[in-house]
Amino acid sequence: MKVLIIGSGMYVTGREGTGTGTILSSLAQISKAVAVEEVVVVSKRISSSKTVADAAERINGLLKSSLNVSFKSLGEDSQQVIAALQAEKKFDACIISVPDHLHFSVGKICLGLSIPTLMVKPLTPTLAEANELVRLAEKNKTFACVEFHKRYDETNLWIKKSIEENKIGKLNYVTVDYSQRIDIPMKTFKGWSSESNIFQYLGVHYVDLIYFLTGFRPARLVAYGTDGILKNQGVDTYDSVHALIEWQNPNDASEKFISSLNTNWIDPNCSSALSDQKYKVIGTKGRIECDQKNRGIELVTDATGIQQINPYFSDYLPDENGNLKFGGYGFTSIATFIHDVMKLKQGKISLAELNKHRPSFMESLTSVAVVEAANESMKNNSEWIEVGKGDD
């Protein structure tokens, strides 16, 4: 198996050049069970070469793995460099982790070359772009999936099963509170935070999750954005975005529920986790409440302040022999994609079967439609907007 990674930022190599990153760590862990001969990371600048080499060395040291990672800079012509690399290496899979507004152009290159693709969320900011990628994947019969890792979190799976078992009756409403420290738009993603917003970049996770948990379709929405804090400091995006979405049962349009999502990108930097997140599902017979930040572990030191730890997303923990192993639902999401690609190659599963059960590009049109409608609503004085269907 040969894997191409596009982007060498936080999600690939970790934070501030000292971390390990979810994507590279996952591939190193997978390589202990599946033959991953080679990983090539490409991104804009040659200076990322050292970041990638250092992260690979740290990861191989921690896992006692020998993942073969190299780097190439894309320069000004991504299309040409990726096409030449593909002709030489014949990658089996590609993982795209670049800023939101570039997902379309980079996705188009990879699907144009028929490379099975895993895209970080959101698929794209607009339906027109997402539709084009869906059509390209269909035309080239290429597996294409979005890395919606919350679909693999056991707490969310338990809630999905409970809703399906009718434990809380018919759905009435869902509330979500999701926010991140102000350092994320101001420093970590300073290069592109003005091109996105907290709802598009982060809230989209819960849009997809509500769709995944309930099977209902978004019908219309209204969104409000507040601003001032980030704009005053030179980052041209909303401080917070609030969306009220009406969802309909696809089998019975009279059955509806409402979700309200409150998202912000201005949490104090002393917040006890990078992301603060909780949600509630209220039904006619009961409620489910889920704190996705406070998982029951608190670290308190002078150096860190109070930190709430989530060891379930992606982390290095000792295995039964005391060796470090990388795991969590972030890992499961990436490992599932790599295993799917292998099974497809070996003819053990069909593309149609995968498209039925994975957050495929087609399946992800729903979350793109909501992101587009929310952006449209905010541009138009917070009007109610019909959510597009994405299959035109």
What percent of the chain is helix, strand and coil (3-state, nearest 5)?
Answer: 40, 30, 35
Residue of 11, 159, 368 whose CA lies nearest to 360: 368
Residue nearest ligand NAD (C-beta atom): 9
Give the range of 43-51, 83-91, 234-242, 383-391 binding ligand NAD by CB under 6 A: 43-51
Asked if 328 interacts with ligand NAD (CB under 6 A), we say no
Give the range of 40-48, 126-134, 167-175, 347-355 binding ligand NAD by CB under 6 A: 40-48
Asked if 11 interacts with ligand NAD (CB under 6 A), we say yes
Collect contacts of 165-170 with beta carbons under 8 A, ≥24 apart: 166/285, 167/283, 167/285, 167/286, 167/288, 168/281, 168/282, 168/283, 168/284, 168/285, 168/286, 168/287, 168/288, 169/283, 169/284, 169/285, 169/286, 170/255, 170/257, 170/283, 170/284
Restricting to residues 194-233, name those near ligand NAD by CB under 6 A.
Answer: 201
Give the range of 7-15, 63-71, 155-163, 212-220 binding ligand NAD by CB under 6 A: 7-15
User: Closest CB to ligand NAD among 225 and 330?
Assistant: 330
Residue of 121, 199, 231, 182 whose CA lies nearest to 382: 199
User: Closest CB to ligand NAD among 52 and 288?
Assistant: 52
- Pair 367, 204: CB distance under 8 Å: yes
Least distance in angstroms from the C-beta of 149 to ligand NAD:
7
CA 92 – CA 112 distance, rounded (Å): 14
Helix (H, G, I), strand (E, B) or coil at 36: coil
Q: Which residues pair with 80 in a beta bridge?
A: none
Asked if 6 interacts with ligand NAD (CB under 6 A), we say yes
CA 297, distance to chain mean position in Å, is: 24
Asked if 333 interacts with ligand NAD (CB under 6 A), we say no
Q: Of 48, 124, 142, 240, which one interacts with ligand NAD (CB under 6 A)?
A: 48
CA 235 – CA 196 distance, rounded (Å): 10
Q: Which residues pair with 217 in a beta bridge?
A: 248
Q: Which residues pair with 173 in a beta bridge?
A: 258, 282
User: Closest CB to ligand NAD among 163 and 310?
Assistant: 310
Q: Of 98, 168, 223, 341, which one interacts with ligand NAD (CB under 6 A)?
A: 98
Binding residues for ligand NAD, rule CB under 6 A, total 23
Asked if 74 interacts with ligand NAD (CB under 6 A), we say yes
CA 146 – CA 333 distance, rounded (Å): 9
Q: Of 99, 112, 128, 316, which one interacts with ligand NAD (CB under 6 A)?
A: 99
Tokens at residue 93, please?
Answer: 């899979």
Least distance in angstroms from the C-beta of 83 to ligand NAD:
14
Q: Of 3, 8, 186, 293, which one interacts with ligand NAD (CB under 6 A)?
A: 8
Give the range of 85-93, 100-108, 214-222, 336-344 binding ligand NAD by CB under 6 A: 100-108
Asked if 43 interacts with ligand NAD (CB under 6 A), we say yes
User: Closest CB to ligand NAD among 26 and 97?
Assistant: 97
Restricting to residues 234-263, name those near ligand NAD by CB under 6 A.
Answer: none
Tokens at residue 268, please?
Answer: 């104090």
Q: Contact residues for ligand NAD (CB under 6 A)?
A: 6-12, 43-45, 48, 74, 78, 97-100, 102, 106, 120-121, 189, 201
